[in-house]
């Protein structure tokens, strides 16, 4: 799990395209969510499941807002890239 998070963080830092950065952030959130669900089932705790549902809801809202900002940026600039 830690290796996946590390690889995704490196992918997040090294990319030039904003859409792939949003995808990397979504995969990171889903990785944390899967870990919370697993730990909740191991320790028989309902709070992990509830918190993972909240994370999924927030990730959906973040995706919608991020993609709408990207569409507006693309219409304004004509390209979707960034510099670090």
Question: 50-70: per-residue pLDDT in tens?
Answer: 998 999 999 899 889 988 988
* CATH code of the domain made up of 1-75: 1.10.287.3510
Q: Reply yes or no on whether the pLDDT at 72 is more than 70.
A: yes
Q: Which one is predicted more confidently, 59 or 2?
A: 59
**What's the pTM value of the predicted model, to 2 decimals?**
0.70
Q: Which one is predicted more confidently, 66 or 2?
A: 66
Strand (E) or helix (H) holding 53:
helix 46-77
Whether the CB-CB separation of 15 and 80 falls below 8 Å is answered with no
pLDDT band at 78 (very low <50, low <70, confident <90, very high): confident
> Domain segments of the chain: what residues?
1-75
Q: How many whole angstroms separate alpha carbon 47 and alpha carbon 29?
A: 17
Does residue 82 sit in helix, strand or coil?
Answer: coil
Does residue 15 sit in helix, strand or coil?
Answer: coil
């Amino acid at each position: 799990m830690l290796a996946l998070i590390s690889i995704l963080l490196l992918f997040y830092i090294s990319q030039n395209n904003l859409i792939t950065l949003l995808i990397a952030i979504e995969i990171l959130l889903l990785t944390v969510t899967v870990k919370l669900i697993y730990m909740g089932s191991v320790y028989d705790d309902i709070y992990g499941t509830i918190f993972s549902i909240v994370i999924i809801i927030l990730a959906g809202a973040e995706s919608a807002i991020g993609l709408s900002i990207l569409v507006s940026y693309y219409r304004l600039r004509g390209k979707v890239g960034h510099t670090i």
